[in-house]
Structure 1
């Protein structure tokens, strides 16, 4: 049966206030500090991934929860104007999340007022969407404890969909994904997250630990590019050199590229290279979405890669 959507993203959507580069240290005491750039843009790992995938030509739906406020309306407008079908539940009792991102070189500090994230639940995802999507992706797993991602993934897989997870950071420091891992086909952490999720010492060891039971793992490794592991083969890919403004959302654009390659049945090498290109190219402008590439543009910037055995 044909699907209505190539990709359903379940997760976080909010405005990002991106400021920087900020000085070191940041001063309190009511000091006014001027920075060169500032922008209010579409944020949230899930929303950035959804927008990036739509930019790459996928048919994308997004499900989540926002407040009945101006920030929520902004998020909906930015997603729908990018070609993403929005299924956003409006909450009368909590505000849309807001994130402030303070940039400094390739690093950043992230401050989030979680708002509706803690109230987002499985009922916010229409059941018919799970049956109508080829692939379901969840983001910011630790910020939405009521979302019941394992159950959503299980239902999606029952309908034949594949699933992917980007946990993002865990503010609690517990890093427990045991319940969801069994229902996840693709895991998409960055290097630090992979190591924290597994307790292993190196990125390669962490990727191998996650790539069990036929699971596919792709680890974003910043200036060192990325690697993927399918339990047997490791593919490594260097980054793409671009004129970087900031790296906000680069990992989410990587997710969009990797999922697109997966749904286009690209071979492992090209799939990883596409993801790396999408992540790198997205850093050319402030915020996570302004410089996200089209598929043709990303394919024109593929890096080289290498493969070996684990």
Structure 2
């Protein structure tokens, strides 16, 4: 599909959730206490947050995108706003909290795993009213980092019902629950059109809802029976998706030299949602957009510096 056709077909997407910076550390990153000094290979300050990375990725792919989130009145907040604006994201609904700091995540990135230390700061202060005020003209709303915004999460069932009544489609990437309780999703999933977990999140969500036993595909299909299409990020295996009454659809990842996997799942989300917003009806093609976008994002440290442009993505699809 050409860039011109995509731009003509694209609809406006509102991304809702967190906005913060990431400090990505690589090298000898496993802490040793006792005042031991450890030397790093690299340290990169980049745009972080699931919602921020998704919004940035959508804008890079030519999709008209706005972000509803809250930052602090500080340098990290100004950096966040600047990075998003440079990518073309509409930041008119990016609120500024007068006293709380902008959120910060420190990513300890090892070759085969990573640990994330997060300061929430202003992230949880986003409200349902602010989201409704930001919807203006959006045809799809994507929610990210459900468990970092407990106030908004408690309002989400009524908010989703309101959006559905307006004919606005929705998607949800819960991300990991730091408390590992996975509460509240039973009331949310029947009102969501697309759920975007990784494999670990899929298993945790299913277990919290009493969906036990069988393969990952069995778990996903039973979650899909609650309402949403379940689109699963499977790392190096690419991604797959399933609805309650359809076969599993799969797409492989690209073979790339991965520098850092931070935010790759969020770039996967952006690729999938960009395909939806561009009018791609084929589920296999939507997944190809997702896996290509997720794979290409790993070429540099942080979630956004190596995100695909529309030209790059279409070249790889071709």
The answer to whether TM tops 0.5 is yes
Of 15, 20, 29 in structure 1, the residue corresponding to residue 34 of structure 2 is 29
1:1-80 aligned within 5 A:
6-23=12-29, 25-80=30-85
Deviation at 1:126, TM superposition (A): 4.6
Instruction: Tell me the distance in 2 between the aligned counterparts of 1:22 and 1:203.
Output: 34
**Stretches of structure 1 lacking an aligned partner (at least 5 in a row):** 304-310
1:228 corresponds to which residue? Answer: 241
Deviation at 1:213, TM superposition (A): 4.9
TM-score normalised by L of structure 1: 0.92
Q: Is the 8 A contact 1:106 1:246 kept in 2?
A: no
Of 286, 289, 298 in structure 2, the residue corresponding to residue 283 of structure 1 is 298
TM-score normalised by L of structure 2: 0.89
Write the deviation string for residues 157-188 of structure 1: whole angstroms up to 9, x where unpaired.
Answer: 22211100000000111112112112200000
More strand by share: 1
Q: Is the 8 A contact 1:16 1:42 kept in 2?
A: yes
Q: Is the 8 A contact 1:136 1:164 kept in 2?
A: yes
Q: Is the 8 A contact 1:240 1:302 kept in 2?
A: no
Deviation at 1:152, TM superposition (A): 2.5
Q: Secondary structure at the match of 1:262?
A: helix
Q: Is the 8 A contact 1:130 1:159 kept in 2?
A: no
Q: Is the 8 A contact 1:98 1:113 kept in 2?
A: yes
1:259-298 aligned within 5 A:
259-266=273-280, 267-298=282-313
1:237 corresponds to which residue? Answer: 251
Instruction: Tell me the distance in 2 between the aligned counterparts of 1:161 and 1:106.
Output: 39
Deviation at 1:4, TM superposition (A): 11
Q: Is the 8 A contact 1:138 1:149 kept in 2?
A: no
Instruction: Tell me the distance in 2 between the aligned counterparts of 1:160 and 1:77.
Output: 32
Of 179, 199, 221 in structure 2, the residue corresponding to residue 208 of structure 1 is 221
Q: Secondary structure at the match of 2:141?
A: strand
Q: Secondary structure at the match of 2:56?
A: helix
Write the deviation string for residues 28-59 of structure 1: whole angstroms up to 9, x where unpaired.
Answer: 12222111111000000000000000001100
Instruction: Tell me the distance in 1 between the aligned counterparts of 2:28 and 2:315.
Output: 33
2:178 corresponds to 1:165: no
Q: Is the 8 A contact 1:15 1:71 kept in 2?
A: yes
Instruction: Tell me the distance in 1 between the aligned counterparts of 2:27 and 2:225.
Output: 40
Please tell me the root mean square deviation across aligned C-alpha atoms, in Å.
1.8
Question: How many correspondences in the alignment?
Answer: 299
Deviation at 1:208, TM superposition (A): 0.8
- Cα–Cα, structure 1 residues 209 and 132, in superposed 2: closer, same or farther, change >3 Å? same
Instruction: Tell me the distance in 1 between the aligned counterparts of 2:109 and 2:268.
Output: 19
Deviation at 1:5, TM superposition (A): 5.8
1:99 corresponds to which residue? Answer: 105
Structure 1 stretch displaced more, 7-16 or 203-212: 203-212
2:151 corresponds to which residue? Answer: 146
**Stretches of structure 2 lacking an aligned partner (at least 5 in a row):** 1-8
Write the deviation string for residues 116-162 of structure 1: whole angstroms up to 9, x where unpaired.
Answer: 123222133252x3241010000000110111222332222222111
Of 187, 191, 204 in structure 1, the residue corresponding to residue 195 of structure 2 is 187
- Cα–Cα, structure 1 residues 213 and 29, in superposed 2: closer, same or farther, change >3 Å? closer
